[in-house]
């Protein structure tokens, strides 16, 4: 599956620092590789959306919307009951964000947790805001350019008044520590059932580079490491939470119950059922 670069591959004016796109589809997508060249609001209107980033994963329905940092992500879109998916996308450059911070003299917050994606719940103000964006999208490019910069400032001022500035500074956070980014991507996504190709994409690496980097950090192959990690988690669910094999095998990454039991016995020397008896 070819990666899609946004907003570059959308038919919208590229010279604007803030851009809007009313996106709708009747086709579901699963873990589509997306390269976001700008930070993005996704105001979900119909359907469900899941995004997987290097350090965070979020799944929302249309009671929430997302703000996403520029970078690589995997995107899943599920249709609503009326077989449609719709999201109003608002793209904006980091330079525009910096200008907004300087203009409003915002003090930098110490980040408790740096994330690439945040979700917020809709309220009456946000619903009205999204409708106003749709009205603006019908105007000329020249008017859009002026109004969208004002609208971005409006939504940012509203959100920081409620949620503080942590999400704002997360969007600007740049880490040049490749090793730290790599480890964070692996440790955050070990339960997400991602392929090596998908993990390599999140790290902006080829699969062969990802494998080499992985063995350098973890001293074993990715397949072996992920299998051990998931089996240890399965052991916890069985031993500590008294879950049965049939309840958890799919959750921990196995397509069939028999293959899970076989792998479990191979690692721990006894079957999950025997662990229950202990």
pLDDT tens digits for range 198-256: 999 999 999 999 999 999 999 999 999 999 999 999 999 988 888 889 999 998 888 89
d(CA 71, CA 274): 46
Answer yes or no: do 38 and 147 share one domain: yes
d(CA 150, CA 209): 43
Instruction: Share the mean pLDDT of the chain.
Output: 92
Residue 233 makes CB contacts below 8 A (sequence gap 6+) with 191, 252
Answer yes or no: do 128 and 195 share one domain: no
* List of E strands, 69-174: 71-78, 85-92, 117-121
Cα–Cα distances in Å, from 236 out to 253, 276, 277?
Answer: 15, 11, 15
d(CA 178, CA 210): 12
**What is the mean pLDDT of the segment spanning 141-156?**
95
Answer yes or no: do 116 and 200 share one domain: no
DSSP code of 138?
Answer: T
Residue 244: which domain range? 178-277
Residue 12's nearest CA partner among 197, 141, 203, 136 is: 141
**Residue pair 90/150 in contact by the 8 Å Cβ criterion:** no
CATH code of the domain containing 156: 2.60.120.810
Instruction: Please determine, for residue 175, whether its predicted confidence score (pLDDT) is greater than 80.
Output: no
Answer yes or no: do 219 and 91 share one domain: no
Cα–Cα distances in Å, from 263 out to 110, 194, 222, 252, 257?
Answer: 44, 19, 16, 12, 10
Using DSSP bridges, classify how beta strands 48-52 and 71-78 pair: parallel, antiparallel or unpaired. Answer: antiparallel
Answer yes or no: do 40 and 138 share one domain: yes
d(CA 278, CA 275): 5
The last residue of one of the domains, among 118, 150, 172, is 172
pLDDT tens digits for range 17-60: 899 999 999 999 999 999 999 999 999 999 999 999 999 999 99
**Residue pair 68/61 in contact by the 8 Å Cβ criterion:** no
The last residue of one of the domains, among 137, 172, 207, is 172
CATH code of the domain containing 197: 1.10.10.60
Residue 34's nearest CA partner among 18, 46, 47, 23 is: 23
The last residue of one of the domains, among 172, 190, 219, is 172
Answer yes or no: do 154 and 55 share one domain: yes
Instruction: Please determine, for residue 278, whether its predicted confidence score (pLDDT) is greater than 60.
Output: no
Answer yes or no: do 234 and 195 share one domain: yes
Q: Other CB atoms closer than 10 Å to residue 106's CB: what's the count?
A: 15
Residue 176 is predicted with a pLDDT of 64
DSSP code of 216?
Answer: H
Q: How many domains does the chain have?
A: 2
């Amino acid at each position: 599956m070819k990666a899609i670069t946004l907003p570059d591959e959308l038919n919208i004016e590229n010279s604007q620092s803030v851009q809007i796109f009313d996106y709708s589809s009747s086709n579901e997508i699963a873990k589509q590789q997306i390269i976001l060249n700008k930070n993005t609001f996704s105001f979900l209107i119909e359907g469900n959306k899941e995004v997987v980033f290097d350090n965070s994963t979020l799944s929302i329905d249309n009671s929430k919307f997302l703000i996403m940092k520029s970078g690589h992500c995997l995107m899943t879109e599920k249709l609503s009951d009326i077989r449609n998916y719709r999201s109003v996308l608002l793209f904006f450059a980091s330079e525009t964000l910096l200008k907004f911070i300087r203009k409003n003299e915002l003090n930098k917050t110490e980040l408790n947790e740096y994330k690439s994606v945040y979700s917020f719940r809709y309220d009456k103000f946000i619903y009205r805001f999204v409708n106003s964006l749709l009205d603006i999208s019908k105007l000329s490019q020249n008017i859009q350019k002026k109004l969208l910069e004002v609208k971005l400032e409006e939504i940012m001022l509203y959100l920081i008044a409620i949620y503080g500035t942590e999400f704002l500074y997360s969007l600007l956070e740049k880490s040049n520590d490749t090793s730290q980014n790599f480890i964070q991507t692996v440790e955050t996504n070990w339960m997400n059932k991602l392929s090596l190709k998908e993990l390599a994409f999140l790290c902006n690496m080829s699969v062969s580079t990802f494998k080499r980097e992985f063995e350098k950090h973890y001293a074993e192959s990715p397949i072996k490491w992920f299998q051990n990690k998931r089996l240890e988690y399965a052991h916890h669910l069985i031993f500590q939470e008294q879950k049965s094999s049939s309840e958890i095998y799919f959750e921990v990454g196995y397509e069939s119950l028999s293959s899970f039991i076989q792998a479990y016995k191979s690692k721990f020397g006894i079957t999950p059922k025997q662990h229950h008896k202990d």
